[in-house]
Amino acid sequence: MSATPRDGPVAGTRASAAELKAAKAPVEAPAERFRRHVLKVLETLRGRGLDREQAFRAMFPRTILPDSTYEDLIAALVSGAHVLFFGPSGAGKTSLAKDLWELFPKGVWVVDGCPVLDHPLSLVDPAVAARFPACPICRRRFAPEGDLAKFDPTIVDPARVPGEFVILREGFGFARVQGSSEVFPDHLTGNINLRKLEEVGDPMSPLVLEPGKLLQANRGFLLVDEIGKLPLGTQNVLLQALQESTVTPSKSRESFPAGFVAVATSNLSDLDNINDPLSDRLTSLHVGFNDRHGDNRRIVELGRDRTGDVYLPELLVDAGVRVVEAWRLRMSEENPDVGEVGSNRTLIDVADRTASIALLAGRAVASSADLRAGLVHAMRGRIRARSGDSFRQNTKRVEEFVGEYVTPALKRSAGVYWCRYYTGTLKEQAKDAEALVGEGRRLKEDAALAASLAKDGSVFPRFRAFASYVGEREKPDPPAPPTEAAVQVFRLLEEFSLFSCKEEDRDDAPL
């Protein structure tokens, strides 16, 4: 069941401005509509028994961030602010912005045929028109004799203004701008449509304008990725829209409405490129890497490409996450050459690369050697290649780091895995643990004996229980039957944990 309550009529429903006025249809700014929706979603989630933190997380199902980040963000949304997510590359800023668009309420009443989605009441209600002026195209459409100067909302017949309930989508209430030095002001304001120019004949007429990104976002949502990479002139156009909720295209006599919720992202290195007035219009929220190991594991599970060709034991996934976490703790995230080596994308890449290396070697189950190679491949692949020498130096740096930390990570992951089974399932019964280890050592050396485990339910009872635990916990893909998966996990435990449960292995914190 969706966490988002449904709002409004069915898309495609039609009604005149007279009918909407009689029904007292709400007319709200996008930020007001978003605020009301966020509060309603929270109320719905809390009504389902979720506590405050759980409700916050449930609103953003595709991102995993610290609870404090969600709390700061929701407070900003409820206050009606535009937001800027800043932080290291690969921390989840763009994913979070996309989650916001998914959360944004998309159903709105619009004037049928309006290119910027005017509300029907903005043409017939003076109070609404004063707060949310209609675009010049709609005003000319409903002005006496089509004369823009004669437009007066008090004399427009509400029954003549056709309205339609629509769902906002790309280009109509949602626009995305990818920051770069080649995004010029007219990319945001719009361009002249030559076909319309031939029809109208007046190059200064608003009718010939092809709406730019800011006009496409009117009444909805604007995502500006890497805002610091926009030229200053382009930033100034965005600033006008945030200040006045209007945009004046360079070749137009008229201003167009451009009211939206703006969400921008920036890497740390680009923050100084955002001009101060624009920065002042945005609430800055730091989006950093998770410091909770469990959250980083969930990021991998959420983003992994499970092909089903290779079984990747959970223990290897866990150890890969620990190595990347160790990199984050010991390396600067502001170094542009290696800043993304510790990113969330790297966490996911390590798992996928490890499985791929095993597949290419013809193995159905990944090994610790595959993990070591997968770490080097994934982390090296995130180095920014500015020059041959720097790339080689940073590659050596990554290889030395992996060589130093992969074995401690495997030991820690194996210790935690065994500790959970020993304290949970075995209830710390040493004799049962010894019997399990004895059965496992016999099985791992004899494939035929291991195969018999699936046929005879009376043999190796303790290892059978361990295989059930592995199967339920990891749900291995078809290439690895439960017994084979359990044998492979047993090998890793024997190699790296020695079946000991130390005090530190009871704590699942990063290295």
pLDDT in tens, 137-169: 899 999 999 888 999 999 999 999 999 999 999
Q: 204: pLDDT confidence band, cut at 50, 70 and 90? A: very low
Q: Are strands 260-267 and 82-87 parallel, antiparallel or unpaired?
A: parallel
**pLDDT above 80 for 7:** no
State the pLDDT at residue 475: 81
- Residue 1 is predicted with a pLDDT of 38
Place of tokens 């069915």: 10
From 263, 269, 299, select the one nearest 85 (Cα to Cα). 263
Strand-pair partners of 111? 163
* Range 106-121 average pLDDT: 95
Calculated CA dihedral for residues 402, 408, 411, 413, nearest 10 degrees:
-70
Segment 329-357 mean pLDDT: 87
Length of the chain: 511
Q: Is residue 60 over pLDDT 70?
A: yes
Residue 300, both tokens: 């991998």
Tally of CB atoms within 10 A around 14: 12
Judged by average pLDDT, the poorest of 224-228, 284-288, 324-328, 363-367 is 363-367
Q: What is the DSSP letter of 134?
A: P
Taking residues 176-200, report their average pLDDT.
82
pLDDT at 302: 87
User: Is 173:108 a contact under the CB 8 Å cutoff?
Assistant: yes
Question: Residue 219: what residue type?
Answer: R
Domain residue extents for the chain: 14-286, 293-506
What is the rounded distance in angstroms from the CA atom of residue 463 to the CA atom of residue 466?
5
Report which of residues 497 and 198 the model is more confident about: 497
- Find the helix packing angle between 30-47 and 67-78, rounded to 10°: 130
| pLDDT (0 to 100) of residue 191 | 73
Nearest-5° angle of CA 477, CA 483, CA 487?
Answer: 100
| pLDDT value at residue 459 | 81
Torsion-angle region of 470 (φ positive above 0: left; ψ -120 to 50: alpha; else: beta): alpha
Identify the top-confidence range among 217-231, 244-258, 377-391. Answer: 217-231
- SS3 state at 400: helix
**Each residue of 425-456: pLDDT tens digit?**
999 999 999 999 999 999 888 878 877 776 77
**pLDDT band for position 477 (50/70/90)?**
low
The CA-based angle 496-497-500, given to 5 degrees, is 165
Whole-model pTM above 0.75? Answer: yes
Instruction: Residue 411: name the closest of 292, 282, 502 by CA.
Output: 502
Question: How many Cα atoms occupy the beta-carbon half-sphere of 142 within 13 Å?
Answer: 27
Under the banding of pLDDT at 50, 70 and 90, the label for residue 209 is confident
497 and 411 Cβ atoms separated by less than 8 Å: yes
How far is it, in rounded angstroms, from Cα 397 to Cα 408? Answer: 18
Place of tokens 């194996």: 414
Give the number of other CB atoms < 10 A from CB of residue 105.
23
pLDDT at res. 134? 95
Residues 6+ apart with CB under 8 A from 26: none
Of residues 266, 270, 299, the one with CA closest to residue 282: 266
pLDDT of 90 strictly over 50: yes
Structure tokens at 396: 């050596």
* CATH node for 14-286: 3.40.50.300
Closest CA to 397 of 468, 332, 351: 332
As a whole number, the mean pLDDT across the chain is 89
Please compute Rg for the chain using Cα positions: 29
Structure tokens at 162: 């056709």
